[in-house]
Structure 1
Amino acid sequence: MDWTLEVVILPVGDIDRAVAFYRDQVGFALDHDVTNEHMHIVQLTPKGSGCSIVLGDLPAHREMKPGSMRGLQLCVADAEAARSELVARGVAAGEITRLDERDGSTFFSFSDPDGNTWTVQELKVRGEKPLIPHEARIGSGT
């Protein structure tokens, strides 16, 4: 039996500000944005990922302090290109660190407006063999 991690609840202080950051600056796809008299829930997914982040005001969200998530990790095929893209969109990304020459040994980091921290790991193999093949992706197929 497969067990897949598909959603991470991310505690934020201002849902609309967080949506603008993750959608417009980081480049996550906005999957859902639902508001009614009981809740405001937003789901965003990084391109090529099978796991999304969910922002909202349900009890599980309110139990966590905004900005308390540390070390969430994203993987990219090219750390320099990814960092340049984020910086061009106004994200304050840390410098690239190369621990050694092996694939998976290059990293940089950034934080969201609430202080939740992200590490970005370069895995060149993801460019050749993505976890979710392009033809299996929902939507545009890219």
Structure 2
Amino acid sequence: MNWTLEVVQVPVTDIDRAKAFYAEKVGFAVDHDTANMGDGTRFAQLTPPGSGCSIVISSGMTKLAPGAQEGLQLVVNDVRAARAELAGRGVDVSEVRVYTKDGIRPAREDDDLNNVGFCFFSDPDGNGWAVQQITSRP
């Protein structure tokens, strides 16, 4: 039996602002935006390009406080290109960092970033994301 992770809830204060951030700045596809479910609940589902897992931004669907979600991680095959794309769209994204057995340091031009190259950003509420480069897996 396969167990697939399909949706992660990301708590936000303003669904319209978060939806615009994830769709226009981060580049996620808007799958749907459902409102007026009778109890005031509203949620929008967005999916990163190429991902089998989506996020749901919502009001009234989680007990998490807006901005409380941390450790969300996207995987790309070129973290430098991903960082440049995010920065070009106006996302406040960190420089690329390398995680090694000796600690964390800024990436150098000649670094092999497979599995060790990361950059980071947060949404307008402070929910934290990492972007990791994985070009091959052991």
TM-score, length-scaled by structure 2 = 0.85
Residue type of the partner of 1:55? I
Residue type of the partner of 1:85? E
More strand by share: 2
| Structure 2 counterpart of 1:109 | 120
The answer for unaligned runs of 5 or more in structure 2 is: 101-111
Equivalent pair of 2:45/2:55 in contact (CA under 8 Å): yes
Equivalent pair of 2:67/2:126 in contact (CA under 8 Å): yes
| Structure 1 counterpart of 2:16 | 16
| Structure 1 counterpart of 2:25 | 25
Aligned length: 124
Provide the rounded CA distance (Å) in 1 between the counterparts of 2:86 and 2:126. 16
Equivalent pair of 2:12/2:59 in contact (CA under 8 Å): no
More helix by share: 1
Counterpart of 1:55 (choices 54, 57, 76) is 57
Provide the rounded CA distance (Å) in 1 between the counterparts of 2:136 and 2:50. 14
| RMSD (Å) for aligned C-alpha atoms | 1.5
Provide the rounded CA distance (Å) in 1 between the counterparts of 2:113 and 2:12. 35
The answer for unaligned runs of 5 or more in structure 1 is: 127-142
* Matched ranges for 1:103-142 at <5 A: 103-125=114-136
| Structure 2 counterpart of 1:40 | 42
* SS of residue paired to 2:23: helix
Matched-pair identity in % = 52
Provide the rounded CA distance (Å) in 2 between the counterparts of 1:19 and 1:31. 11
**Deviant stretches of 4+, over 6 Å:** none
